[in-house]
Every structure is written in C-alpha cells, then in structure tokens.
Amino acid sequence: MPITDLLERNSKLYGEEVALVEINPEIREEQRVTWKEYELIQPTSSAFYRREITWSVFDEKANRVANMLISVGIQRGQKCAILLMNCLEWLPIYFGILKAGAIAVPLNFRFTSEEIDYCLKASDSDVLFYGPEFIGRIENIAGKIKKEMHLYFVGDQCPAYAEDYFRMAGNCSSSAPKILVEDTDLAAIYFSSGTTGFPKAILHKHLALSQSAQMEAIHHETTKQDCFLCIPPLYHTGAKMHWFGSLFTGSRAVILKGNSPESIFRAVSNEGCTIVWLLVPWAQDILAALESGKLKLEDYRLSQWRLMHIGAQPIPPSLIHRWLKWFPHHKYDTNYGLSESTGPGCVHLGLENVHKVGAIGIPGYGWKTKIVDEEGNVVKQGEVGELCVKGPGVMLEYYKNPEATAEVLEGDWLHTGDMARQDEDGFIFLVDRKKDVIISGGENLYPVQIESFLSAHPKVHDVAVIGLPDKRLGEIAAAIVQEKEGSGLTEEELQQFCVDLPRYKRPRKYIFAPVIRNATGKIDKPKLREIYCAERLVEMQNKG
C-alpha cells in the first residue's frame, strides 16, 4: 500500500475528525482558527496561535496540490522541492506531490542559498514550494535557478517572480487525481546532513515510507486514541516517519512551532498529547527547568502522557534515569536510524527494555542487523565493528551518485558508518561514528563513551568530545562542556570526576563553551572541530 492510500483511507473513515493541529506559541492564545475558517481565509501560521484541519480537508488540500502540479505539466517522476518551516501546509503539500506521481524533495530550512541551489540541481527539481522565511535566500540564487522551474510561495504578499500557492491551489479541483501510485514507485529524495561536505541525495520508494508507518505504530503501540506531539523539523525523516504512526492509525497530531519547556508542557496539557518525541537538548532543558523550579508539574495536565522517546543521536543513560525520576509512569524508547534507512526504527530499544537504557536496542520490525570488521566479516559478540542494517527501508541509491552508493550499499546491506557492539542479550550499543573515533597514542578513543560518562556529572548540562591535534600523541580527547546555569563548574571538579575513567580515556583538555547542535539535535562535530582545531594549532605554534 503506497503511503498516499493511508491518507485517502483516513479521509473516508475519519473525515470530520481533526488530523493536524498547529500551535505557534509566539502568538496570543486567543487567536485560534477552525478548519472551516481556515478554508475561507487561508491564513498563514504567522497570524494565529492555533490552527487545525480534519482528515477530509487534509486529503482535499493534497488533491488540490496534485491537480495544480499536473495542470502545469509536472509528470510522474519529476522532482518537487519543499523549503518550509514546520506549518500546517507542509504535509498536504508533501502528499500532494506524491499523489501527482512526482517525487517529494524536502530541504533543510537551515540550508544557505548556496546549499539550496546545490540541492535543487542535485535532485533535478522542477518545482520549489517555499515560505516567507526564505525570500532572501531564494532571491540570492534567482539568477541560477533554471528558468522553467515553478516557484510557489506559501505565505502572504507573494513576490513578483513566484506564484501564489494559496491562489493557485485554491483554484484546482479537490478530487483525487487519476494517477495510479504503487509501492514500487519512487517517492522521495532526502538529503544527508552534509557533515562531510555538500549533502547527498537519498532516493526512496513508496514501500519504504509505508513500511516505516506500520513499523512506527507497532514499535510505539500507537492507537486511534493517541495524540503525537511533533516538534522536530518535518524536512527530516525522523519527525515525519514518527508522525507516520499517527497516519497509520488515523490519530491526531500536533505540530508545535517552538521547543521551550513551557511551550512543550503547555501543548501536551492543552491538546492531551500522549506521545512526545524529543531531541536530547530539549529533554535536557526540560529537566533543568524542573530541577530549578522554573517548571512545575502540577501546573499542567500531564497524566495522559504515556510515552517519551528520543532519537537522532546517542542518548546518555544518565539523562533517561533523571527523566524517569520525574516521570516514573512514562514508557521510554530510543530509535536509531539514518535518512538512508528511511529514518528511525531500523534499530530500537523497545518499550519493555528500559533496563537496557544506553543501548540503541534490537533490530526493528522487518529489519536485520550485523556488525562487521574492516574486511566485512561478522565480528564476535562483544567486539566493536561497523553496524550494517538490512530491511524494506534501505534507500534505493544516492541519486545520480553510483560511486557514493557503492561505498555504503553491499547488496541489500547498508553500511551505516557507526561503530557498535552487541551484548550477550543481543542488544546493540553504539560506540561512535567511524569518522569520529580519536586515535591518541595508538589507542582508539570513542567520544560517545566519554560523553556518556561526563554527562552524568550533576553540573554538566551538555558535553561533546572531539579530537584535537597533538605533536606527541597525534590527537588528544578534548571535552567541550556546557555547564548548568550558575553551577560554577570547574576543570578540577571534572578531572576529579574522571578518576573513575581509564587514564587513556580521560579528556586531556576541557573547554567551557556552548555545545553546537544541528536542527535535529545532533552534536555538530565538524563545526566544533573547525573552531577548536584551529585554536589548538595556534596554541601549538605559540608553544613552539
């Protein structure tokens, strides 16, 4: 079943029920709009605190987008890019592209003009939907964009060089287009995070999307009565594929345009959210607010909140132990995946396995795993090797990049680039990214292990460990430590705390500074290395 069939099914079965709610905490709460008002005035999210649409309106809007694309000559297999902040228009546009038989190309909203231009060309996109936040960036590359590209502006006061999305789509039929979409059809191109240069275009079929929806519902026991709070950016596979569990079950979801502890608790309380997916920084912020007394549980209705799960990066066990002290009734899960594996879930901890916190878990629904050495041989249990995964969500290829594809695909197996080990119970533990391993004096140091240890210090808010150049050892482990506000943490305290670490694993340098993370919560180690390696080289030169 292609993913578009799930939307059409929900429209028929649950047409008048609310499918999506959007909340903008920067707007006054009394400014609300129902789906009927939404149909009449087509407001953008900049004007209202709360908007909502039903399943039938969601499906009709997707149909209008599909018919609009078909009317301007977009054919099966052509690429349509989306450059929007999280908003109520995002998913109907995405599904409209798919209903037209075209390929959706979500773009990172943090991309620079140069990166946007690169991705449009790399994906062969013929259409771009973009919002008001990106006017300047699009104007910067207007001369580079191919003349036949259709630009649709999703907002008020449409620029002269673009077409008004609301007007164009509003004039098109709300009936389903007569386009047959099948599981084997190409569906989407997602871009890698680009930590090793410009991002790579990852091509997926409809089968990968629909399988991820079923897997999400199974992993998190999602039912029609659940309500999912979606905070991370929808361009990323993680947020969208977790929402696919709501699509699979026909349950409601809330798109929150903000991530402060107060706005998260307020949305959970007011909307009755039961499932919340957090990134590590947001969970850290919530705990810091609770522990400082700035946030009080009794001020919110939270008893229905049954599941908190985290993904997108290794999770410090100390973080979850702290969380469960505040929320002992919560189920917990962590989800591992890559954009190359259609996002999260190819490995997951499982709701019943909180005793294994620290592991990424076991193979997900429909997936297989193995851990191999440099020659591709499966390592012995307990030994470190590269994690490989196989399942229905493995990408078809890096689009138009056979060399890069051959580097990570070996038959049906995807080499993840993550170093891992498996314990005696079959649970997989991430050791680190292959490219992040620090070789210091001939010893392999795995930053994730050191980060996990340091994160347990009560005065540490966030921490990242990177390798810095060293004349004698080649590299040393340096810890960038973001202390809790007002804690007065000192280097001497950290050195004393690390006495329990083997000597060779102890950081040789501490840097007190903010930990830089990307939009999906991952530590931006290339950026940190760029900053601190340069400083280290200057320091070494000064010392002679």
Q: For 107-125, how does the pLDDT look when each residue is reduced to its tens digit (9 = 90+)?
A: 988 888 988 999 999 999 9
510: which strand partners? 479
Q: Is residue 353 part of a domain?
A: no
Number of domains in the chain: 2
Give residue 88's pLDDT: 94
Q: Is residue 532 part of a domain?
A: yes
Q: What is the rounded average pLDDT of the residues 454-473?
A: 86
Instruction: Look at residue 257 and tell me whether its pLDDT is greater than 70.
Output: yes
Q: Is residue 373 part of a domain?
A: no
Q: Which residue has the higher pLDDT, 252 or 440?
A: 252
Give the confidence band of 377 by pLDDT, cuts at 50, 70, 90.
very high
Q: Is residue 167 part of a domain?
A: yes
Dist. CA 438–CA 477, nearest whole Å: 7
Helix axis angle, 90-99 to 55-71, nearest 10°? 50
Q: Is residue 334 part of a domain?
A: no
Backbone angles phi, psi at 247, to 5 degrees: -60, -45
Give residue 505's pLDDT: 84
Instruction: Look at residue 478 and tell me whether its pLDDT is greater than 50.
Output: yes
Q: Which amino acid is at 157?
A: Q
Dist. CA 17–CA 2, nearest whole Å: 22
For the domain that residue 536 is a member of, what is the CATH number? Answer: 3.30.300.30
Which residue, 217, 237, 257, sits at the end of a domain? 237
CA distances from 167 to 18, 88, 94, 345, 489 (A): 24, 17, 18, 39, 56
Lowest mean pLDDT among 151-160, 167-176, 232-241: 232-241
Q: Which residue has the higher pLDDT, 435 or 247?
A: 247
Which residue, 205, 237, 269, sits at the end of a domain? 237
Q: What is the CA radius of gyration of the chain?
A: 24
Give residue 196's pLDDT: 47
- What percentage of the chain carries pLDDT values higher than 70? 92
Domain that holds residue 127: 3-237
pLDDT in tens, 287-311: 999 999 999 999 999 999 999 998 7
Q: Is residue 390 part of a domain?
A: no
Instruction: Look at residue 39 and tell me whether its pLDDT is greater than 50.
Output: no
For the domain that residue 233 is a member of, what is the CATH number? Answer: 3.40.50.12780
Which residue, 237, 268, 284, sits at the end of a domain? 237
388: which strand partners? 370, 415
pLDDT in tens, 446-457: 788 888 889 889
Task: Answer for the pair 307, 331: CB distance below 8 angstroms, yes or no.
Answer: yes
Give residue 312's pLDDT: 62
Dist. CA 539–CA 541, nearest whole Å: 5
* Burial category of 201 from C-beta neighbours within 10 Å (exposed 0-12, middle 13-18, buried 19 and up): buried
Dist. CA 352–CA 336, nearest whole Å: 16
Task: Answer for the pair 340, 408: CB distance below 8 angstroms, yes or no.
Answer: yes
* Burial category of 140 from C-beta neighbours within 10 Å (exposed 0-12, middle 13-18, buried 19 and up): middle
CA neighbor of 291 nearest in space, from 255, 334, 325:
325
Dist. CA 420–CA 4, nearest whole Å: 36
Q: Which residues of 485-507 are buried (b: 16+ CB within 10 A; e: fewer)?
A: eeeebeeebbeebbeeeeeebbb
Dist. CA 301–CA 355, nearest whole Å: 28
pLDDT in tens, 174-222: 999 999 999 999 999 999 865 445 788 999 999 999 999 999 999 999 9
Task: Answer for the pair 351, 333: CB distance below 8 angstroms, yes or no.
Answer: yes
Q: Is residue 527 part of a domain?
A: yes
Task: Answer for the pair 153, 164: CB distance below 8 angstroms, yes or no.
Answer: yes
Q: Is residue 133 part of a domain?
A: yes
